[in-house]
Amino acid sequence: MAMTAYLAVKYVHVTCVTLSVSGFLLRGLLRLGNSPMLQRRWVRVLPHVNDSVLLAAALALTLITGQYPFVDAWVTAKVFGLISYIILGSLALKGAVTGWLRLASWLAALTMFGYVVSVALSRSPWGFLLLLK
């Protein structure tokens, strides 16, 4: 029973992660192209709905597995990576005033996303940085 709940929540989490990065990738491309589609209500609202489900699933996984930030190093790294991804993503989609800064922020956010995923898969705070060792 516990394994079934874990797998169900994990699948929801992974699905939301995939939708989140896909949406960010698309919105970044639209932003770089100054597309008016970014003003559509569903484009502005849907990411928040998905990210709320993603956060709920992440919290549920934390409770189910008993792995917590500031206790387990890899979970702590994911949290700090996520915060960096959010800041860079916000800069890319809203805050950057020049096209180059928008592009650099967008690429940095995608790199940080890759780092967070690599931390999750390796369960090491080093994530893909392990390849540099």
pLDDT given for residue 1 in this prediction: 64
pLDDT given for residue 95 in this prediction: 86
Q: Rounded distance, CA 94 to CA 91, Å?
A: 5
pLDDT given for residue 69 in this prediction: 94
pLDDT given for residue 96 in this prediction: 82
Six-digit token string for 95? 């805050």
Summarised one tens digit per residue, pLDDT across range 120-129 is 999 999 999 8
- Exposure string of 107-116, with b = 16+ CB inside 10 Å and e = fewer, is ebbbebbebb
Q: What percent of the chain has pLDDT over 90?
A: 88
Six-digit token string for 18? 């995939």
pLDDT given for residue 130 in this prediction: 85
Intervals of the chain under pLDDT 70: 1
pTM of the model: 0.90
Q: Rounded distance, CA 101 to CA 79, Å?
A: 24
Convert 7-50 into a string of H (helix), E (strand) and C (coil). Answer: HHHHHHHHHHHHHHHHHHHHHHHHHHCCCHHHHCHHHHHHHHHH
Structural domain boundaries in the chain? 2-132
C-alpha R_g of the chain: 16
